[in-house]
Chain A
Amino acid sequence: MTTQATTPLTENVTALLRPNRVRRLFAAREAGVLVALLLMCLYLSFASPVFLSVNNLLNIGRQVSLIGIMAVGMTFILITGEVDLSVGSTYALAGLISGMSIIGGWDLIPAIVLGLVIGGAVGFLNGLLSTYGRLPSFITTLGMLSVARGVALLITNGQPVTVDARFGARPAVLEQFFFIGQGRLFDVIPMQLVFFIAVAVLGWFLLSFTVFGFRVYAVGGSAKAARVSGINVRNTKVIAFILVGVLAGLSGILSLAFLPSGQAGRTGLGLELDVIAATIVGGTALSGGEGTIPGTVLGVLIIGVLRNGLVLLNISPFWQTAIIGAVIILAVGIDKWTRSR
């Protein structure tokens, strides 16, 4: 959609507003990813007897949830033409702070809110520096990746943070906290997956059906055109950064609620690349202007199913690493090569 930059604004806007065309465009883009996912599932259901079991499918759903929640935020950021490399560190910082507040005897809601606020604050800072501070977001968030992890190490002093009654958490609060991470809705659906679905639906609504979503596309398609048409480019981006920060915080909190022990040196380490990879595989362009939430969900599922499948097939861990990388290149490649014709 790089051509958007040169087409007149009016055409741009009408193109975005014409519902049929929008639907067709999105459908076409996601269709490729969906076919790839279905093919993989088809193969795995023959190759492994456990793949199609309810238990395994729910496991995959849970395993991709935390990456998926962040990928929803990342979709917004990438569409605006920016990038956030700091999500893994934000995840650690926000999660560990929430956990430490619970250990400090806090109630559940204030502890979660504190974590989300910390995540949002990191995002706000990223956004401010990347827009009003005129720094490339690649640099800002690369720096923030280190700063946030350093702060997490400092406040925990490198010690593992174990959310447990023995260390001061209140048993009633613990029970609620563990429910959001380990519980199952109707005793079936893992709560992490419930959060992912909720975030994906809300994100999809926000991106596809609201003025803010329209602005996000406009800013990423052509910042100049967006500015001329009266959209505040900087504020739109700052809000997108806050959004991804809050979602990274939410993932971090859920992570600690699932495995009640975190450690600032390891928690969330390297997740930013998993998140970006899943988003890109789902059809979001690194160059901005295009991407959808359903596409991102499919991208997240492709990586999750792949990782699960490789283990079910007992493929050596070193091969797994190489294959996952190759699939990322292949998925994006197929999308690009087929579309340029």
Chain B
Amino acid sequence: MSFKFRKIAVLFTVAVLVLMSAATAQPSKAQDNSGFKLADRIAQKVKSGQKLTFRVSYHDVSNEFAPEIKAGVEQAAKAFNVDVTLVGPVGAKAEDQVAELEILIANNVDGLAVSSVSTDALAPVLNKALAAGIPVVTFNTDNPSSKRLGFVGQDLIESGRAAGKLMGDTLGGKGSVIITTLDASAQWSLDREKGAREALAKFPDIKIVTTVNTGTEPQAIYAAIENAMLANPTVTGIVSLECCSTPAAGEFVKRNNLTGKVKIVGFDLLPTTLQLVKDGVIEKTIGQGPQKQGYGAVQLLVDAVNGRAVKGIDTGAEVVDKSNVDAKLQPATPAATMSATMVATMAATASK
């Protein structure tokens, strides 16, 4: 037994030492992206007109944006005639994303577009790819700590500022506000919160009461908002920083007959969010064009391998309110309906 323990202790010490040396060996956070040199094998492939292999790594392929980003990626694959698929972890796990990228680099992928789970955790592996001559761009969530060649997406701090300003204007410069986010410690959330707080600070009569960290589970999101609103009955505005606490805040306000008394400014264009905008419960919501982000990520990689200058693309912060919501309210996304029919057929066959 004691022998086993000693063995484990030795292994553990070795592991710690390896980790420590790996940590110290991390490249510095220099933001210099001028030194990139395309690998010869990729340059030759481009020259001979061979089909290139790109991978687009999204920080959580199981969330509601993944299908939209995937659609953009597939559109670009056709347009530019490249072999490209959407990859990434299920559930935003940095370790899984790093491991997958390492495998892709070892397998000589010709280009990577990455939306990072965590800036600092992902930067070393992005730099490793660049050092191997593989072009790397970022999309959706930027990674400014890395030497990535360019970024496609929304400027997150800027979009946070936009949300803060919209709330300030909606409230007429007076009131008290809570900020809701499903992951207060995530990079995108920190960025948007920073922007929102900056913009709201310009309204001296608006007080930010608290930031509510709702968690990602739908019931938990609703319960967190419910508890926070009960604890702070004077709140007149809710700024939601993402897709999913936006409709939950809307449902809360609608069900408690607070429409008009508590104003909501949120993000993204989920079906429930759009319906709540139409019903006048949510004042404004900010879209970020996920499909454009998927398309743009591939476009930047094509530019990079062809030696063209890689210019970032700002997919903007499209504000949707009652005046333009009708155009956004589309029928069901095809996939979900098809699956519903699938289940129906499955059950029908089973019952026969």
User: How far is B223's CA from A312's CA once the two chains are assembled, in angstroms?
Assistant: 12
User: How far is B341's CA from A110's CA once the two chains are assembled, in angstroms?
Assistant: 15
Min CB distance B101 to A, Å, is 20
Please, which residues of chain A bring their CB within 8 A of the CB of B255? Answer: 182
Q: Which of A114, A160, A264, A267 has the most CB of B within 10 A?
A: A160
Contact at B64–A104, with CB atoms within 8 Å?
Answer: no
For A259, the closest partner residue in chain B by CB is B218
User: How far is B5's CA from A100's CA once the two chains are assembled, in angstroms?
Assistant: 52
Report A245-263 CB contacts with B as 1/0, cut-off 8 Å: 0000000000100111111
In chain B between 88 and 111, which residues have their CB closer than 8 angstroms to a CB of chain A? Answer: 90-91
In chain A between 41 and 85, which residues have their CB closer than 8 angstroms to a CB of chain B? Answer: 48, 50, 55-56, 59, 63, 66
Contact at B219–A266, with CB atoms within 8 Å?
Answer: no
Interface assignment of B176: CB less than 8 Å from any CB of chain A: no
Interface assignment of A156: CB less than 8 Å from any CB of chain B: yes
**Please, how many residues of chain A have a CB less than 8 angstroms from a CB on the other chain?**
55
User: How far is B342's CA from A317's CA once the two chains are assembled, in angstroms?
Assistant: 41
Stretch at the interface among A6-14, A19-27, A164-172: A164-172
Stretch at the interface among A30-38, A130-138, A207-215, A268-276: A268-276
Contact at B219–A100, with CB atoms within 8 Å?
Answer: no
Contact at B64–A63, with CB atoms within 8 Å?
Answer: no
Report B336-347 CB contacts with A as 1/0, cut-off 8 Å: 110111111001
Question: When A157-B335, A158-B66 are in contact, do A265 and B90 touch as well, CB less than 8 Å?
Answer: yes
Question: When A114-B347, A162-B272, A266-B218 are in contact, do A100 and B339 touch as well, CB less than 8 Å?
Answer: yes
Stretch at the interface among B14-22, B166-174, B243-251: B243-251
Please, which residues of chain A bring their CB within 8 A of the CB of B335? Answer: 156-159
Please, which residues of chain A bring their CB within 8 A of the CB of B272? Answer: 160, 162, 164, 260-261
Report B246-285 CB contacts with A as 1/0, cut-off 8 Å: 0110010001000000000000001110010000000000
For B331, the closest partner residue in chain A by CB is A166
Please, which residues of chain B bring their CB within 8 A of the CB of A159? Answer: 64, 67, 333, 335-336
User: How far is B343's CA from A182's CA once the two chains are assembled, in angstroms?
Assistant: 25
Question: When A104-B343, A312-B230 are in contact, do A265 and B60 touch as well, CB less than 8 Å?
Answer: yes
Interface assignment of B112: CB less than 8 Å from any CB of chain A: no
In chain B between 322 and 352, which residues have their CB closer than 8 angstroms to a CB of chain A? Answer: 329, 331-333, 335-337, 339-344, 347
Please, which residues of chain A bring their CB within 8 A of the CB of B233? Answer: 50
Contact at B275–A164, with CB atoms within 8 Å?
Answer: yes
User: How far is B224's CA from A63's CA once the two chains are assembled, in angstroms?
Assistant: 10
Min CB distance A260 to B, Å, is 7
Question: When A106-B344, A269-B91, A269-B216 are in contact, do A59 and B332 touch as well, CB less than 8 Å?
Answer: no
Interface assignment of A307: CB less than 8 Å from any CB of chain B: yes
Question: When A101-B344, A265-B62 are in contact, do A156 and B339 touch as well, CB less than 8 Å?
Answer: yes
Question: When A100-B340, A156-B335 are in contact, do A307 and B227 touch as well, CB less than 8 Å?
Answer: yes
Interface assignment of B75: CB less than 8 Å from any CB of chain A: no
Contact at B231–A314, with CB atoms within 8 Å?
Answer: yes
In chain A between 305 and 341, which residues have their CB closer than 8 angstroms to a CB of chain B? Answer: 307-308, 311-314, 317-318
How many residue pairs at the A-B interface have CB separations less than 8 Å? 153
Min CB distance A31 to B, Å, is 29
Please, which residues of chain B bring their CB within 8 A of the CB of A155? Answer: 339, 342-343
For B332, the closest partner residue in chain A by CB is A167
Contact at B344–A104, with CB atoms within 8 Å?
Answer: yes
Identify A164's interface contact among B227, B271, B343, CB under 8 A. B271
User: How far is B347's CA from A261's CA once the two chains are assembled, in angstroms?
Assistant: 22
Please, which residues of chain B bring their CB within 8 A of the CB of A167? Answer: 271, 331-332, 336-337
Question: When A166-B271, A166-B332, A261-B270 are in contact, do A55 and B219 touch as well, CB less than 8 Å?
Answer: no
User: How far is B341's CA from A266's CA once the two chains are assembled, in angstroms?
Assistant: 23
In chain A between 131 and 159, which residues have their CB closer than 8 angstroms to a CB of chain B? Answer: 149-150, 153, 155-159
Please, which residues of chain A bring their CB within 8 A of the CB of B210? Answer: 314
For B213, the closest partner residue in chain A by CB is A317
User: How far is B342's CA from A162's CA once the two chains are assembled, in angstroms?
Assistant: 16
Interface assignment of A161: CB less than 8 Å from any CB of chain B: yes
Question: When A157-B336, A160-B336 are in contact, do A50 and B231 touch as well, CB less than 8 Å?
Answer: yes
Min CB distance B328 to A, Å, is 12
Min CB distance B289 to A, Å, is 17
Q: List 27 A-B contacts (CB under 8 A).
A: A66-B219, A100-B336, A100-B339, A100-B343, A103-B337, A104-B337, A104-B344, A150-B90, A156-B339, A158-B67, A159-B333, A159-B336, A166-B275, A166-B329, A166-B331, A167-B271, A168-B337, A261-B270, A262-B218, A266-B63, A266-B244, A267-B217, A311-B231, A313-B231, A314-B210, A314-B232, A317-B213
Q: Which residues of B are interface residues toward A (Cβ below 8 A)?
A: 60-64, 66-67, 90-91, 184, 210-213, 216-219, 222-224, 226-228, 230-233, 244, 247-248, 251, 255, 270-272, 275, 329, 331-333, 335-337, 339-344, 347
| 15 further A-B pairs in the complex, CB-CB below 8 A; given A59-B223, A104-B337, A157-B339 | A100-B340, A101-B343, A104-B343, A110-B347, A155-B339, A157-B67, A158-B66, A166-B329, A168-B340, A260-B272, A265-B62, A266-B62, A266-B244, A271-B217, A311-B224
